[in-house]
Amino acid sequence: MIPGKSISFDQERQLWAAALKYLERGRPGDVEHTRRVVAYGKTLLDREPGNPRVVVPALIIHDTGWSKVDFSDFVDAPAVDKKDTASVRLHMHHGANIAREILEAVGWDPAATLQIVDIIAVHDAPEKIRASSNLDAALVFEADWLDKYGQASQKRYYEIFSDNGKIEELNRYLEKNKFVFFRSEAAKGLLSEITSKGKGCIHL
Ligand SMILES: [Fe+2]
Ligand SMILES: [Fe+2]
């Protein structure tokens, strides 16, 4: 974490209150997913020099855009093509707009707001995140994608996809790409912590 940067309990609560209005109307489990990734993000911030005033709000708000999207193409697409579906692109676009609205309404620092909006606009595009040298963007991406490897997500996939073949395919994709997705030492460490809890989560 960058010394001197922090986010207060009240500020976080204010952001949660605004984001929940959208998250509750998104995909099944989006609220719980968001709670987990915020916790992962904070763990990463304990171990990497990221800015919590960017990473934490970005994670709280990152998936609010699903509330404005018909995600049936996401559900139907093969695992390797999910990130290229129209609904994934659209949820990033809407999420970036929602982030701007929420952050302006609470009077968030304009420079941080700009960064958060930019990160949310690409948060589910691994190749765009990889092409960027922005550590905060990488930490947001890593916290979000780490959750795909956890036990809770495995249960959630059954709610969203209700198709064992699709879930196995998704897990093969995650397994194959784990060394591509996670670059920070903190994320690699957290990945082994998450997956070593094993049982029910994918076998890594
Ligand atoms: Fe997302
Ligand atoms: Fe997410």
Q: Which ligand is nearest to the CA of 41?
A: 2
In whole angstroms, give the CA distance from residue 140 to residue 129.
10
Cα of 100 vs centre of ligand 2, distance in Å, is 18
SS3 158: helix
In the chain, the amino acid numbered 60 is: I
CB of 95 closer than 8 Å to CB of 62: yes
Cα of 144 vs centre of ligand 1, distance in Å, is 8
SS3 helix, strand, coil % of the chain, rounded to 5? 75, 0, 25
Cα of 88 vs centre of ligand 1, distance in Å, is 7
Which residues make up the environment of ion ligand 1, defined by Cβ < 5 Å? 63, 124
Q: Which ligand is nearest to the CA of 129?
A: 1
Predicted pLDDT of residue 155: 77
Q: What is the pTM of this model?
A: 0.90
Say whether pLDDT at 200 is over 50: no
> How does pLDDT run across 133-148, given as a tens digit for each residue?
899 999 999 999 999 8
Say whether pLDDT at 74 is over 70: yes
Strands (E), the chain: none
Q: Which ligand is nearest to the CA of 147?
A: 2
In the chain, the amino acid numbered 79 is: A
Cα of 193 vs centre of ligand 2, distance in Å, is 19
Predicted pLDDT of residue 172: 87
Say whether pLDDT at 202 is over 70: no
Q: Which ligand is nearest to the CA of 94?
A: 1
Predicted pLDDT of residue 187: 94
Predicted pLDDT of residue 62: 98
CB of 156 closer than 8 Å to CB of 182: no
Dihedral angle, C-alpha 63, 69, 122, 126, nearest 10 °: 90
CB of 96 closer than 8 Å to CB of 121: yes
Percent of the chain with pLDDT over 90: 59
Domain ranges of the chain: 9-196
Q: Which ligand is nearest to the CA of 144?
A: 2
Cα of 59 vs centre of ligand 1, distance in Å, is 9
Q: Which ligand is nearest to the CA of 148?
A: 2
Cα of 6 vs centre of ligand 2, distance in Å, is 22
Predicted pLDDT of residue 173: 85
Cα of 104 vs centre of ligand 2, distance in Å, is 22
In whole angstroms, give the CA distance from residue 137 to residue 152.
24
In the chain, the amino acid numbered 140 is: V
> How does pLDDT run across 150-165, given as a tens digit for each residue?
888 877 777 776 667 7
Looking at residue 184, the DSSP 8-state letter turns out to be S
Q: Quick one: average pLDDT of 62-78?
A: 90
Non-local (6+) Cβ contacts of 16 within 8 A are 60
Say whether pLDDT at 129 is over 90: no
Predicted pLDDT of residue 72: 87
Q: Which two tokens stand for residue 116?
A: 């958060």
Predicted pLDDT of residue 5: 77
Nearest Cα to 141, choosing from 192, 177, 187, 91?
A: 187
CB of 68 closer than 8 Å to CB of 36: no
From the options 1.10.3720.10, 3.90.650.10, 3.40.50.11030, 1.10.3210.10, give the CATH code of 9-196. 1.10.3210.10
Q: Quick one: average pLDDT of 74-101?
A: 90
Cα of 83 vs centre of ligand 1, distance in Å, is 9
Ordered DSSP codes for 7-18 = --HHHHHHHHHH
> How does pLDDT run across 176-197, given as a tens digit for each residue?
888 888 989 999 999 988 888 6
CB of 116 closer than 8 Å to CB of 102: no
Nearest Cα to 141, choosing from 155, 127, 162, 158?
A: 127
